[in-house]
Structure 1
């Protein structure tokens, strides 16, 4: 499973916009079709729990694991 730092790095390298920073990093990405995706990244450095990672990948990032790995 990836770490929170790797998720943050993915967002930065994949063109996500940091729109708010509190106790988490909040990112948004708008694609050419007008779709908006959002994700929240913990400031912790630990590993993302498996159940949560699957949810983030499918519903927030909406990319394959292979694509994610190519960006980190």
Structure 2
């Protein structure tokens, strides 16, 4: 099942991400113990599926987790 933007929002809210802005999208940040700051943005279209190519980029570069880790934490 492809994730929806609502799944990504729920992940952020459950896993210590802080909403820093609510404008055209919801913008979230998470500070890691290493000092690195992760950032992601979530569309307000929570019922829309995230396109596969975008989802791969979000997992790898923004969340820095695997899809299996994501689904365990949603």
TM range (shorter): over 0.9
CA distance in 2: counterparts of 1:10 and 1:50, whole angstroms: 17
In structure 1, the residue matched to 2:22 is 21
In the superposition, the TM-score normalised over structure 2's length comes to: 0.94
| Residue-pair matches, total | 72
**Structure 2 residues without counterparts, runs of 5 or longer:** none
**Structure 1 residues without counterparts, runs of 5 or longer:** none
After superposition, give the CA deviation of every residue in 1:29-68 in whole Å (9 maximum; x if it has no partner). Answer: 0011101100010000210000000000000000111110
Structure 1 stretches of 4+ with a deviation exceeding 3 A read none
Matches within 5 A, 1:57-72: 57-72=59-74
In the superposition, the TM-score normalised over structure 1's length comes to: 0.96
